[in-house]
Chains A and B, each alone.
Chain A
């Protein structure tokens, strides 16, 4: 991937003239900033970029981008974006969604957009709460979550969004954190370079209704030990002093001290490998592992939207450009004089 700019646009050129209206302190500001930065670095032409969103706090996002934008209805952004992309594959189509929008009401569209490999970039802001409706539990809220709609604690098992995306056969699966600007920008740029369905889960803080949702792993003081950045071609080593590693014990990933193992036993991360390992790491059994961020999977697959237009080209090649008159005047015809 080339990150060399093909336009002279700066981050500022991707800001629209609309006032940003998220709560002060919301994690969405940092994400907006990272996306605008990535757009400029990628050298995107503003007119070729479309942001499509559903409903929720995060879905206000398109109004703040000086690109084409469509703020649609709850959960349906991947379906609308699919239509945009299939109609015109030259466009760069991004979906902005949240954990309620994508995992709950839009769950069906989410998994189908991913398994179809439509060339969409889906950014899901996961704050584990419904913010716009003022604080109900979401499909990613932890079991037992006490909210307005679950005063005695939620009873349902949350989705693991990475598992869902991997199982739906997304060809790119990544994860980052709102407050880790340069990491986020890097994952976004990798997704942008990917041909196919790309999904990024972004840990995002809702300082009003679910403050500190990710603090236990993303706070600066603990981050190095609680997160592991999955980087293609690099060993699974983490920790402030790079002294810890993840190794596989059968099907069981476990944390070891680098000093205690033979370095060649530390796996090298491969985004193109079978996704089983990614699935195991994302599972984080009983909190024994650091939470993985970075790129879980990035494999080359033919994109759906390209295939659609390829079939049209092949049909034209085989049968010639369709002729309406020929089509109407076909079958058993008869003349009345």
Chain B
């Protein structure tokens, strides 16, 4: 029966599609989007996602601040961003429609839940006239579905509470979209059986959601809602084993990997903060890997406990976001002064102050560089995609342990929550991290600040080691002995040494490479962090147009790669797009005394590809 219907309607092949699921924050849009993402990942598409949810746990139902969205782009070719404008919008209520309809592509499909367009619903969304009845949706393909009624009807014999039944309507909607894109439903069926059936011992909930999803699929098939359905074939990705990964998860896995690679137990001191808390949750579940997680009383205690654990010989980490970084800055300086290894993860969000907790921004860069008293250099690494965060976490750990220094790892809300396919590394390919903790026999030469001649790292002697008892602290240290010293010449020398140690890391960095183009192109688009996808897509497109455009993307912000200056100077123009008011541009200009084009955006949303393309056109004239 099903196949007959399918045969009756044409299937159109697309190279890519962008879907945005939008509803009230209680409508389960994040889970719906995640399910579509996983299904597409397992199917073999390349993909990118952008979850966009409100800061309030539950803003008043049906209102504009309560709208939660999840955009997924999937394709048969290599993509770098979740896309600028959706082809399909699923709007569960008028507020979701109002917030999102302006982004939908012309002639795009909008699936609306007509059951939620009552008078009260319209008032909550501040619609004076029902948008389903005026010209609001002209120019779009509108698919009207009475989702509440259909879900209720589907589950009328389930014996479930009507409230529970209503919570299945997102899966009815998912079923419709699955049919529209000819996706298999197994991944979601398995997920529901595991999550509700096995883990939560509520098999009836799993059954109800599965029934709703299948009913949605069949309804789309039989009812002729759509003229055609679509398929997006598999992408040609590099061979390997893949999984879908979000940035926070990648950071957690990277830190755990680093702990295994250096052979020291991982200690995480943290305090809950959006959007970094997931890393704390994740690592808390890795107890059988020997991971210690400590939820401290505040941000300061979180980093201080980590510093204590580092002093005691653990591989120590603290995770936070911007406001937490502000609180940690004094303690971070203690780690700089005592030269203890520590990884500090800052999942950036919109600032200043509490700012936009759930929105993305790159505006902590200068805070990380300079936001401490005194001359206090700290290495900074920035992840550029969700999967890159895994490698960056290992790299930050390697540098911290090798150079005996705190290292800041920057990600942001977009990387933290966005997902992409990740080609899994072979464990044996991961770089070993050499660590030396001294033994009693080192007593002969041991001095707390006697540095390694190459790295300038001080030796790591941990409590419990006989004969190496020593005292450290935040007061200036005498060179070599580590005793308290107020000697002016010594302070100059120690300040120089701290500076040289961090600057010297530049020698340890991989060779600098352009992502696209070559030296001497007319313009270089230089980025850092999560703007990578948008910049890559923009530069690809500009080069296809025949423009002389190159791309570079910085992982190492402090110190910069030694080759950076010369590379930048080979271009007539350097354009730096960033989600702040021009912080990397400020650093580059200050450091290299060169003029750059700064392109900034702080709307809480990532750059779109077209924004970058338009900017390059503007500069090149």
Considering the complex, give the chain A residue whose CB is closest to the CB of B424. A328
- Does the CB pair B308–A87 fall under 8 Å? yes
Q: Which residue of B lies closest to A67 (CB)?
A: B469
> Is A18 an interface position by the 8 A CB rule?
yes
**Any chain B CB within 8 A of the CB of A336?**
yes
Option from A47, A83, A316 in Cβ contact (under 8 Å) with B288: A316
Q: Are B308 and A68 in contact (CB under 8 A)?
A: no
Q: For A83, give its contact among B294, B338, B475 (CB under 8 Å).
A: B294
**B483 A18 Cβ-Cβ under 8 A:** yes
- Interface pair B463/A86, CB less than 8 Å apart: no
Q: How far is the CA of A330 from the CA of B306 in the complex (A)?
A: 29
For B278-322 the 0/1 string (1 means CB < 8 A from A) is 000000001111111010111011001111111111101000000
Interface assignment of B556: CB less than 8 Å from any CB of chain A: no
Contact (Cβ within 8 A) A47 B308:
no
Is the pair A83, B44 in contact by a Cβ cutoff of 8 Å? Answer: no
Chain B window 468-506, contacts with chain A (Cβ cutoff 8 Å), 1 for yes, 0 for no:
111111110000000110000000000000000000000
List A contacts of B257 (CB < 8 A): 324, 328
Instruction: Indicate if the CB atoms of A88 and B463 lie closer than 8 Å.
Output: yes
Closest approach, in angstroms, between the C-beta of A86 and any C-beta of chain B? 6
Q: State which of B238-246, B360-368, B395-403 sits at the interface with chain A.
A: B238-246
Q: A50-B463, A71-B475, A76-B301 are in contact. Are A315 and B308 (CB under 8 A)?
A: no
Cα-based distance from A316 to B288 in the complex (angstroms)? 4
- Distance in angstroms between the alpha carbons of A194 and B58 in the assembled complex: 46
Contact between chains at A87 and B239 (CB < 8 Å): no
CB of A332 within 8 Å of the partner chain: yes
Q: How far is the CB of B281 from chain A (nearest CB, A)?
A: 15
Within 8 A of B (CB), among A193-243: none
* Cross-chain contact B467 with A322 (CB below 8 angstroms): no
The interface residues of chain A lying within 8 Å CB-to-CB of B238 are 336
Kindly identify which residue among B300, B313, B464 contacts A48, using a CB–CB cutoff of 8 Å.
Answer: B464
Q: How large is the interface on B (under 10, 10 to 19, 20 to 34, 35 or more residues)?
A: 35 or more
Q: Which of A81, A316, A333 contacts B308 (CB 8 A)?
A: A81
Residue in A80, A312, A322 whose CB lies within 8 Å of B307: A80
B460 at the binding interface (Cβ < 8 Å)? no
Interchain CB contact under 8 A, A84 and B463: yes
Given known A68-B470, A327-B256, A331-B243, contact A84–B311 (CB-CB < 8 A): yes
Q: Please judge, given known A-B contacts A83-B294, A87-B308, whether A332 and B473 are in contact too, CB under 8 Å.
A: no
Q: Contacts A333-B242, A336-B240; is A66 near B308 (CB within 8 Å)?
A: no
Scoring A residues 307 to 337 as 1 if CB is less than 8 Å from chain B, else 0, what string do you get? 0100110111011111011011111111111
Are A324 and B304 interface neighbours, CB within 8 A?
no
A112 touches B463 (CB 8 A): no
Given contacts A63-B484, A84-B308, A336-B237, contact A72 B474 (CB under 8 A): yes
- Chain A nearest CB from B358 CB (Å) reads 24
Question: Closest residue of chain A to B235, judged by CB?
Answer: A336
Contact between chains at A331 and B244 (CB < 8 Å): yes
Instruction: Say yes or no: A320 contacts B288, CB within 8 Å.
Output: yes
B42: interface (CB < 8 Å): yes
Within 8 A of A (CB), among B66-90: none
CB within 8 Å for A333 and B241 given contacts A45-B466, A82-B308, A327-B256: yes
In the assembled complex, B57 has its CB within 8 A of some CB on chain A: no
> What's the nearest-Cβ distance from chain B to residue A187, in Å?
25
Whether, in the assembled complex, B174 has its beta carbon less than 8 Å from a beta carbon of chain A, the answer is no
What is the CB-to-nearest-CB distance from A309 to chain B, in angstroms, rounded to a whole number? 8
Residue with the highest number of chain B CB atoms closer than 10 Å, among A46, A63, A322: A322
* Nearest-CB residue, chain B, relative to A317: B288
Q: Which of A68, A318, A330 is packed against the most chain B CB atoms within 10 Å? A: A68
In angstroms, Cα B186 to Cα A334, docked, is 14
Please, which residues of chain B bring their CB within 8 A of the CB of A5? none
CA distance A86 to B306 in the complex (A): 10
Are B471 and A76 touching (Cβ within 8 A)?
Answer: no
Smallest CB gap from A47: residue in B = B466
> What is the distance, in angstroms, from B255's C-beta to the closest C-beta of chain A?
11
Chain A residues positioned under 8 Å from B6 (CB to CB): none
A41-96 residues at the B interface, CB under 8 angstroms: 45-50, 52, 55, 62-63, 65-73, 76, 79-88, 90-91
Quick one: which of A62, A69, A80, A333 contacts B305, CB cutoff 8 A?
A80
Residue A183 at the chain B interface, CB threshold 8 Å: no
CB neighbours (8 Å) of A311 from chain B are 287
Any A CB within 8 A of the CB of B427: yes
* Interface residue A254 (Cβ < 8 Å from any Cβ of B): no
A86 lies within 8 A of B294 (CB): yes
Alpha-carbon gap, A308 to B314, bound state (A): 14
**A16 at interface, CB cutoff 8 A:** yes
Residue of B nearest to A45 (CB): B466
User: Does A157 make an interface contact (CB < 8 A)?
Assistant: no
Q: Which residues from chain B contact A316 at a C-beta distance below 8 Å?
A: 287-288, 290
Is residue A190 contacting chain B, with contact meaning CB distance below 8 A? no
> Are B41 and A69 in contact, CB atoms less than 8 angstroms apart?
no
| Nearest Cβ on chain A to B243's Cβ, whole angstroms | 5
Q: Which residues of A contact B309 (CB under 8 A)?
A: 83-84, 86-87
A79 touches B308 (CB 8 A): yes
Is A108 located at the chain interface by the 8 A CB criterion?
yes
- A53, closest chain B residue (CB): B473
Which residues of B302-352 have CB atoms within 8 Å of chain A's CB atoms? 304-314, 316, 330-331, 334, 338
Asked if A48 meets B463 with Cβ closer than 8 Å, knowing A62-B473, A109-B301, A315-B287, the reply is yes
Question: Which 10 pairs from chain A and chain B are nearest by CB?
Answer: A83-B308, A71-B473, A322-B289, A83-B305, A79-B304, A315-B287, A69-B471, A79-B301, A87-B312, A87-B309
B interface vs A, CB < 8 Å?
A: 38, 41-44, 187, 237-244, 253, 256-257, 260, 265, 267, 269, 286-292, 294, 296-298, 300-301, 304-314, 316, 330-331, 334, 338, 423-425, 427, 462-475, 483-484
Provide a sorted-by-A list of 5 A–B residue pairs whose CB atoms are within 8 angstroms.
A79-B301, A83-B311, A324-B256, A333-B243, A337-B239
Known contacts A72-B334, A87-B309, A109-B304, then 20 further A-B pairs from the complex at CB < 8 Å, ordered by chain A residue = A18-B471, A63-B473, A66-B469, A68-B463, A76-B300, A79-B301, A79-B308, A83-B305, A83-B307, A83-B312, A86-B308, A87-B312, A88-B464, A109-B297, A312-B288, A315-B288, A321-B289, A328-B243, A334-B242, A336-B239
